[in-house]
Amino acid sequence: KGLNVFNSKYVLAKPSTATDDDYEGIEGVVAHEYFHNWTGNRVTCRDWFQLTLKEGLTVFRDQEFSADMTSPAVQRIKDVTRLRTAQFAEDAGPLAHPIRPESYIEMNNFYTSTVYEKGAEVVRLYQTLLGRDGFRKGLRRYLEMHDGRAVTCDDFRQAMAEANDLDLSQLERWYSHAGTPVVRASGAWDESAGSYALTLAQSQRVFPDAAKPEPLPIPVRVGLLGANGNDIAGTAHTLELLESKQTFTFENVRERPVPSIARGFSAPIKLEMERSREELAFLMANDPDPFNRWEAGQTFAKDVLLGLVGRVLDGQALDMDPALVHAFHRILSDPSLDGSIKALTLSLPSEELLSQELSEVDPDAVHRARDFLVRELGAALREDWMRTYVENSQGTDRVNKAEIDRRRLKNRALRYLVALEEPETIGLAVAQFRSSTGMTDYEAAFSALVDLDSSEVDGAIAEFYDRWRGEPLVLDKWFRMQAMSSSPAAFDRVVALSNHPDFNLANPNRARSLLFAFAAGNPVAFHRADGEAYRFIADRVLALDAINPQVASRIVSSFNQWRRFEPGRAGLMKAQLERIAGRPGVSKDVSEIVERALGR
């Protein structure tokens, strides 16, 4: 047995040059490639249209392995965040496709977040519906029946069905329809009857010239919380939403419950439900399901942030909801939560995720709203952040759960403190940057500093380069963090870095670390109103296309959502797409992405 790993960054690591996330990434990639010995090699795909059969299944297996090796809750949050950021955007855009696509122009463009990450979520549906034992039986039957054969997604579903003596034919719909399903939830408590009725209704994206899609089978894990913060007895269930709309009734509910829905992200859906901020704060503090506890915090923060975006657009003064401050304080003070869960729960939704919620995106308004909230939370909880930082500053560079938890929480506190731009808090980052012997703390401090518009930034940039200029993988980090900086100087730095002696467009890691990181990971700088960043990236895509069309096609995908932006930026992005499309000799890799983005 062997394995192929296609990037040295997923093999080479030591604490001084690799972060905690790097180590976990290596562990997951090595597991993924090793698992392909069975799901991909010994049992392989009949044709390329079945690619999710091996990739979706193997991503699911490496996610489960990583959850066992680290923390199930943390791993699930990281996986879902990645899915929502990349795949939900793909599902909502012009390149939406099923996990089992029906056609392609360039095979290299087949390796998508939908085929991989959404494919893994569809595999997870089987486990949620069948239970771990039933899923294990089905997987064993699949491997035994088809060892040494090339098969299809239908063969996998049939093996699962036969091993559990169930009809799973409705799951076929997940393989053939694109778009992220929306599930709308509403509940009604009948005090006199002591019952609670939960109504779930699903809808799907309807594509031009396509029939209205049939309802999907959607497992929805739920629980009803009582006033004590625990599940009311007998209310934790996995419901099966099989129709367009269904109502599920819970008996013996003698108090008004707070529903916890889609626990553990039990299906790749968007959940919509009217909730008060008080309910979200209650779930954030009490939900027994750690994923939904984090989810409640993200939903609460998103609601606050979208309100702030609206105020920015209306020219109104911004203000902070003290209830969010109180909710954050409770998380920081909760001794039952480990540092990694605290760090994740105390994070805010990214600008990319916030933009997905807007019908027309103004990146400046989104950035201003999020920046305001970070500063306000930093100021309101300054003493808590400072105490958390100090209490978690003593430790080692060892890569184990306790040390990783400590570092994650400490560095979350540091980000909020540095956002205050006070001499004392900036001094903390400078001191950590200069004294750290491990890359996790070193990178966290540098990343916080390069977001600033202060005198310390240029010195830190020069120090980083002088120290690590001989380590290519670390130098990739140097390029990437500057590319993703929210500093007003970010675009000018990126342009200068594209002419740096150590930047090589022909090096895929280096191209991704600067160009893709900037275009995909720095919304406020990439979407500057004058369109100069669009022109810069389009120029680099055209140059890169002649060297590495696969990487060029990934970078040009940053223009895919152009229709969702305010008219000025939308027109500027469209103009660059048309310029790329009109260039003679453009590769099929880039041409397919651009033509579909333009709707041709």
Q: What is the largest CA-CA distance in the chain?
A: 75
Residue with tokens 């992200």: 265
352 is catalytic: no
CATH code 2.60.40.1840 region(s) in the chain: 182-267
Main-chain dihedrals φ then ψ at residue 493, nearest 5 degrees: -65, -40
Q: How far is CA 254 from CA 76, 194, 261, 278, 590, in A?
A: 33, 5, 19, 20, 60
Q: What is the pLDDT of residue 2?
A: 66
pLDDT digits (tens, 9 = 90+) for 8-54: 788 888 999 999 999 999 999 999 999 999 999 999 999 999 999 99
Residue 163's contacts (CB-CB under 8 Å, 6 or more residues apart) are: 134, 137, 138, 140, 141
Is residue 110 scored above 90 in pLDDT? no
Tell me which CATH homologous superfamily contains domain 8-176.
Answer: Neutral Protease Domain 2 (1.10.390.10)
DSSP annotation of 205: P
CATH 1.10.390.10 intervals, the chain: 8-176
Please say whether the beta carbons of 95 and 597 come within 8 A.
yes
CATH superfamily for 469-600 is Peptidase M1, alanyl aminopeptidase, C-terminal domain (1.25.50.10)
pLDDT tens for each residue of 413-464: 999 999 999 999 999 999 999 999 999 999 999 999 999 988 889 999 999 9
CATH class of residue range 182-267 = mainly beta
Q: Kindly name the residue from 24, 27, 33, 121 that is annotated as catalytic.
A: 33
CATH 1.25.50.10 residue ranges for the chain: 469-600
| pTM tops 0.85, yes or no | yes
- Residue 1 pLDDT grade (very low, low, confident, very high; cuts 50, 70, 90): low
Quick one: average pLDDT of 477-501?
Answer: 97
Tens digits of residue pLDDT in 170-220 = 999 999 999 999 999 999 999 999 999 999 999 999 888 788 899 999 999
What is the percentage of the chain residues whose pLDDT exceeds 90?
94
Q: What is the mean pLDDT of residues 539-567?
A: 97
Matching residue, tokens 């109504």: 199
The secondary structure of residue 318, as a DSSP letter, is P
For position 177, what pLDDT does the model report? Answer: 93
Q: How far is CA 405 from CA 82, 386, 438, in A?
A: 20, 17, 15
pLDDT on residue 358: 97
If you average pLDDT over residues 120-131, what whole number do you get?
A: 98
Residue 354 pLDDT: 97
pLDDT digits (tens, 9 = 90+) for 241-257: 999 999 999 999 999 99
Q: Could you tell me the pLDDT band of residue 6, with boundaries at 50, 70 and 90?
A: confident
Q: How would residue 556 be classed by pLDDT, with cut points 50, 70 and 90?
A: very high
Q: 105 pLDDT exceeds 90? A: no
Whether 104 contacts 110, CB under 8 Å: yes
